[in-house]
């Protein structure tokens, strides 16, 4: 597989193990990213990097970092806000490291093969837990309605898989052969296997994000004609319907809890009043109304809501469980507009290039990035380690995988 020795491929190996390090735990994931950064800095130590300062994406990322550091100054608790904001530097350096890897190393397919292998193991373990009640290590959700797999007591399997599988889909289709029936069968088997896996996790928000990303990916996939795209969407609908009516667990998570509310006004009003996510949203809105322009500061939502938890309008929590409300409550109108405009501009500016080059790995990461910003749906905190790592990996691959957008192309 390798055309060079271990010394030349240590960055490749470290990037390949990112999904595994996330599975093991947050500390191991952080250590792995730090090793990636040191590996990159070691490989790039004697290079000329002055041209990078002229790159628009470099300037935009530094603008985000500068804003976050300034955001610490207006945080309710400076120390908490500053630690998270200062640590954002690792994602900028990770972006450089992955771009450099794709620019210099010819063995990057190894990364995707390892990612496919690791995520497929998680997929098999999730199926095992769904049918047996516990995963292979004995972990299970206390309520029995969701899958935790290797994450012990955290139902985040679907979010984890979403972070890698669209890139993997892009990789598989990049090696797609229309004439090879076995390859075609393998690719679509993998897609349907992940679809069912995401479905059985019981994570409704991440399931909707997956479906959005999958439909978008299929729509932009030049290997598939329009008739098959329509057929595939209908197949997904039929398979979901079949699963829904034949599995009590799936029925409970994807509608069974709400059906009885349709014709019962009293139960519906009680549900809307007591629904945890709705109350989290209301709490986020109240924080935003109190700090409309600059917010409470990054990672300071908990400080505001928990110190004032006697206020019935607040729910003590680390974040309001919705990405736009998180931005508004912690960064206000000014910070939210700045962050979202920079991030979305950085993604959408390459849309024409991506479509023109028909780069399916780039398209895969694009689908994940857009699904992150779907409105209304509940979400984890955008800046927490787990979600931020997945987002900035996809953002890095989005630029790195295309030679026309890779930031090191200017210095070739």
Handedness of CA 212, 215, 217, 219 (dihedral sign): negative
Q: Count Cβ atoms within 10 A of the Cβ of residue 60 and give its class: 0-12 exposed, 13-18 middle, 19 or more buried.
A: middle
Q: Which residues contact 132 (CB under 8 A, 6 or more apart)?
A: none
Distance CA 350, CA 53 (A): 19
User: Is 36:15 a contact under the CB 8 Å cutoff?
Assistant: yes
The pLDDT value recorded for residue 253 is 72
Nearest 5°: the CA angle 254, 218, 250 is 15
What pTM was estimated for this model as a whole?
0.92
* DSSP characters over 295-346: -S-TT-HHHHHHHTTTSTT----SS-SSHHHHHHHHHHHHHHHHHHHHHHHH
Structure-block tokens of residue 81: 């806000």
Closest C-alpha to 324, from 316, 333, 313: 333
The pLDDT value recorded for residue 11 is 92
Distance CA 88, CA 65 (A): 7
Backbone angles phi, psi at 71, to 5 degrees: -60, -30
Distance CA 92, CA 368 (A): 19
User: Is 164:389 a contact under the CB 8 Å cutoff?
Assistant: no
Structure-block tokens of residue 32: 């792995």
User: Is 147:155 a contact under the CB 8 Å cutoff?
Assistant: yes
Structure-block tokens of residue 17: 């193990």
Where are the chain's structural domains?
Answer: 6-47+88-176+184-217+360-404
H or E stretch at 94: helix 89-104
Q: Which residues contact 48 (CB under 8 A, 6 or more apart)?
A: 411
User: Is 164:391 a contact under the CB 8 Å cutoff?
Assistant: no
Mean pLDDT by 10 residues, the chain (412 residues): 59 95 95 94 76 84 95 90 91 95 90 96 96 92 84 92 96 76 81 92 92 93 82 84 78 64 61 76 93 93 80 85 95 96 95 92 97 93 94 97 87 47
H or E stretch at 37: helix 26-43
């Amino acid at each position: 597989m390798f055309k060079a020795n271990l010394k030349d491929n240590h960055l490749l190996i470290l990037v390949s193990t990112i999904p595994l390090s996330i599975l093991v735990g947050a500390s191991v994931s952080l250590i792995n990213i730090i090793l990636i950064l040191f590996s990159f800095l070691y490989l790039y130590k004697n290079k000329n990097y002055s041209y990078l300062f002229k790159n628009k994406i470099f300037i935009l990322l530094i603008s985000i970092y500068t804003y976050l550091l300034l955001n610490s100054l207006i945080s309710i608790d400076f120390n908490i806000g500053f630690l998270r904001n200062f640590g954002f530097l690792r994602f900028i350096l990770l972006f450089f490291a992955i771009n450099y890897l794709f620019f210099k190393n010819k063995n990057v397919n190894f990364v995707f093969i390892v990612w496919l292998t690791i995520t497929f193991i998680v997929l098999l373990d999730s199926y095992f837990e769904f049918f047996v009640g516990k995963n292979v290590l004995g972990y299970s959700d206390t309520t029995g309605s969701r899958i935790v797999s290797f994450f012990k007591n955290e139902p985040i399997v679907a979010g984890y898989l979403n972070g890698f599988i669209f890139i993997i889909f892009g990789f598989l289709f990049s090696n797609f052969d229309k004439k090879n029936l076995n390859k075609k069968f393998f690719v679509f088997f993998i897609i349907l296997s992940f679809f069912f896996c995401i479905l059985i996790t019981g994570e409704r928000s991440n399931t909707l994000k997956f479906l959005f990303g999958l439909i978008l990916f299929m729509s932009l996939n030049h290997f598939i004609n329009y008739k098959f795209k329509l057929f595939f969407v209908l197949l997904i609908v039929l398979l979901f319907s079949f699963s829904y009516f034949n599995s009590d667990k799936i029925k409970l998570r994807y509608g069974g809890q709400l059906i009885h509310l349709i014709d019962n006004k009293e139960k519906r009003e009680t549900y809307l009043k007591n629904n945890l996510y709705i109350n989290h949203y209301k709490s986020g809105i109240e924080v935003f109304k109190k700090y409309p322009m600059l917010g409470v500061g990054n990672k300071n939502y908990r400080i505001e809501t928990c110190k004032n938890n006697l206020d019935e309008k607040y729910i003590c929590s680390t974040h309001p469980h919705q990405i736009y409300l998180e931005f508004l409550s912690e960064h206000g109108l000014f910070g939210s507009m700045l962050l979202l405009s920079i991030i979305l501009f950085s993604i959408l500016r390459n849309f024409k290039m991506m479509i023109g080059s028909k780069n399916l790995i780039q398209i895969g990461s694009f689908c994940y990035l857009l699904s992150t910003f779907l409105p209304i749906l509940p979400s984890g905190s955008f800046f927490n380690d787990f979600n931020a790592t997945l987002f900035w990996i996809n953002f890095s691959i989005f630029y790195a995988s295309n030679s026309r957008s890779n930031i090191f192309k200017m210095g070739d």
